[in-house]
Amino acid sequence: MLKRCFLMSVLSAALLSVTAHAQPSVQPLSPELAQRSSITADGALRKELAYGIYQMAYSASEKALYVASAEMLDGVRGGALYKLDPQTLDVLGVIHTDESNFGLSSNAEGNVLFMTNSLNPAVARVELGEKGGLKRTPFSNMGTDGFKVGPRTVKLDEAHKRLYVGGVGNPAVIWVLDESSMEVLNTIENAGKWVTGLLLDTDHRRMYAGNGDGEVLVIDTDKNQIQQRWKPAGDKPAILLNFALDPKRNRLYATENQHQKTVYVLDASTGKLLEQLDVGDALDIVYNPKRDELYVSHRQQGKVSVLDAGSYAKKAEYSLPAHPNSLLLGPDDQLYVTVKAPFTPDHKVSARESVVRIDLSKI
């Protein structure tokens, strides 16, 4: 079990039915915790937040940043969704949940969040606002190792009202759900080992999925079938984690953090390997079309880099120890980063983890 907990955290680092839960409670944090922040040497705003934070989502309707937390402390059950002021990062409130949270995304309006519960495998739909409710769909797929397949990344296809959830397991799957009812409509199987990152290309009605076999799966979202399988690392070991897409240049970026420690640049239509970026370990990646920049988190280096998307020249670098993890591009040229703390020997979190805001307009 400890090995599985560690795997699910690092791959930050899984009865198919719908159940309704009670309305989540919303409570503010203490003033001392809500105000604990600092300015880094590179000029970023850093807020100490909680134990076990992972992915983020921005709510346009509430003009707030939400952060998923697994609350990985001894004696603590359940998790939380923290609501932050997007400028000050002060805590505006917290939604307590009865499961630990990992993946997070939002609909376009920003009044609904979707989150994955990786260790007690399920995905949940959370309606924001005082009267918001929660629907959760548990998963029961089993891997050959005897563990349930754990959901990691969740992405919403707004046009088709479908929710895609990648499962970390061996073999892995991708679940397809109805966005409103949270009913499982389809399960995409034969997805290799450990489906990690997902990226929707709605213009071309396809989705990219990465896995621990070093594959990029190209999925037809009309048929919900795998159409192509690309291996940018060839026969070398690789765990592809996250993606970014530059539609203007038709480039797909895939990060590898464990073995090859690089960013693969692929032709988004054919999978042809165009280049490997010599940036070292790379966990999350985001493309900003407005500024024509790439943002990469380097978990092992403790840094976030800003690259020119045309030349790949480094424009800026932010030192954010210990382990920068997930990235989110917000409005008004703001980049948000979750920063992980080292794990204890029993795979709990050793210190309070942070959220960072980088003002890109100052680069």
Q: Mean pLDDT across the stretch 337-360? A: 92
In this predicted structure, the answer to whether residue 362 has a pLDDT above a threshold of 60 is yes
Amino acid at 271: G
Domain that holds residue 176: 2-362
Give the pLDDT of residue 20. 35
Instruction: Dig out the tokens for 226 from the structure.
Output: 């795998």
Q: Say how far apart CA 121 and CA 42 lie, in whole Å.
A: 38
Give the pLDDT of residue 1. 41
Q: Mean pLDDT across the stretch 19-32? A: 48
Q: Are 188 and 208 in contact (CB under 8 A)?
A: no
In this predicted structure, the answer to whether residue 23 has a pLDDT above a threshold of 50 is no
Number of domains in the chain: 1
Q: Say how far apart CA 304 and CA 317 lie, in whole Å.
A: 6
Phi, psi angle pair for 46, to nearest 5°: -120, 130
Span 182-213, pLDDT tens digits: 999 999 999 999 999 999 999 999 999 999 99
User: If pLDDT is split at 50, 70 and 90, which confidence band does 30 have?
Assistant: low
- Domain containing 202 — which CATH number? 2.130.10.10
Long-range contact pairs involving 122-128 (C-beta distance under 8 Å, separation at least 24): 122/151, 123/151, 123/154, 123/163, 123/165, 123/175, 123/177, 123/182, 124/21, 124/97, 124/99, 125/179, 125/182, 126/24, 126/81, 126/95, 126/97, 128/59, 128/61, 128/62
